[in-house]
Amino acid sequence: MADRFKGLSAVVTGGGHGIGGAIASRLAAEGAAVTVIDFRKERAAEKVAEITKAGGRALAEAADVRQRQEVAAALDAAIAHFGGLDVVVNAAGIMDRAPFLDTDDALWKRVIDTNLTGTFVVGQESARRMRASAKGGSIVNIASGSGILGGQGRAAYGASKAGVMNLTQTMAIELAPHAIRVNAIAPGPVKTRPEQGDTLGPSVASRMPLKRFGTAGEIAALAAFLASSEASFVTGHTYAADGGLTITGILDG
């Protein structure tokens, strides 16, 4: 387990903090050379410092996932620095919320462009480089439970994440001939910031069997499995890590 990614090069977008940061740390702890891509270079650099202090290898790159040229440059830097590209995790995303009737074009475009178009751009540029290397690889996209079930104030966010899940399926079908696997994770409520508190909202708590927040580390553990050779026969699927939230029907008999 500790060396599942030894000798492999991984890229994590949104890797400077939150779920992406936890995934970057997990992959590095298991032996991967990790390129941390974040919109904010200083955030990527802080994560790289944390990884290297723990004995791992990492590189910080800044890129806006909506901008193809920036993404291409960051991926090329990763390949030049570590000699290849084996694993890519699309964790960059935003969750701007507004009621449906109050969602303006700017908010809609910002969320869709970041979450869905960003995943498309990074996935496509990564897959092209993996195909060129003829080594194959693994791509993990971060979706959301909001892409499975509707949610208050999540018109743009939910639509973007539902799109990520469908995109994952299409990528898996078309990239299989190149030995590239593609899967997604749909996290439920995950505590990534202290201000979230420790108590679930009542509508969530009443429907979640595990009745607690998940941790970024728990999502990272699933991402590491899906990216690894242990999941070599798994592609095109979205795995919910949500305490049972999206499978719950009647709870009281």
Question: E-strand spans in the chain?
Answer: 9-13, 33-38, 57-62, 87-90, 137-142, 180-187, 190-191, 214-215, 238-241
Give yes or no for a contact between 180 and 127, defined as CB atoms under 8 angstroms apart: yes
Establish whether 239 is a catalytic residue.
no
CA 181 distance to own-chain centroid: 15
Give yes or no for a contact between 217 and 22, defined as CB atoms under 8 angstroms apart: yes
Side-chain-side CA neighbours of residue 165 (13 Å): 19
- What are the strands of the beta sheet with 33-38, ordered from one edge? 57-62, 33-38, 9-13, 87-90, 137-142, 180-187, 238-241
Both tokens of 29, joined, read 């702890």
* Annotated catalytic residue within 82, 157, 213, 239: 157
Q: Compute the distance between CA of residue 143 and CA of residue 101 in angstroms, rounded to an integer.
A: 24
Residue (of 79, 76, 74) closest to 62 by Cα position: 74
Residue (of 203, 99, 190) closest to 152 by Cα position: 99
Both tokens of 25, joined, read 């740390």
* Angle between helix 41-53 and helix 18-29 axes, rounded to 10 deg: 30
Both tokens of 249, joined, read 């029907």
Among all residues, which ones are annotated catalytic? 157
